[in-house]
Amino acid sequence: MDSQQILDLYDWQEGLCFRHPARGTQETAHIKTIRPPAGGLQDVRACAECVLQIEDAKERAAARGGETYRPGRLSGASDAS
């Protein structure tokens, strides 16, 4: 699976990357929602560069654990697709 195929698994919208907020608004994908101690919900978004890094790390972790790597599921959403 190449980089573009992985990126195509995500929905892209303008936002701030959680690792690169200094870059300002750019195309980002929603990867998870966290509950800050202060309350409420906060979306965590990542730019393409970070999504690919995270997917790469996930692929290696899956290989180490003998599990099947499934890209595009960073959010841990319980969708059955």
Interacting residues with Zn ion (CB under 5 A): 17, 19-20, 47, 50
Degrees to nearest 5, angle at CA 5 with 52 and 13: 65
Q: Please identify, using beta-carbon distances, which residue of 17 and 71 lies nearer to Zn ion.
A: 17
The enclosing H or E element of 42 equals strand 42-47
What's the closest the beta carbon of residue 67 comes to Zn ion, in angstroms? 26
What's the closest the beta carbon of residue 9 comes to Zn ion, in angstroms? 17
Q: Please identify, using beta-carbon distances, which residue of 20 and 32 lies nearer to Zn ion.
A: 20
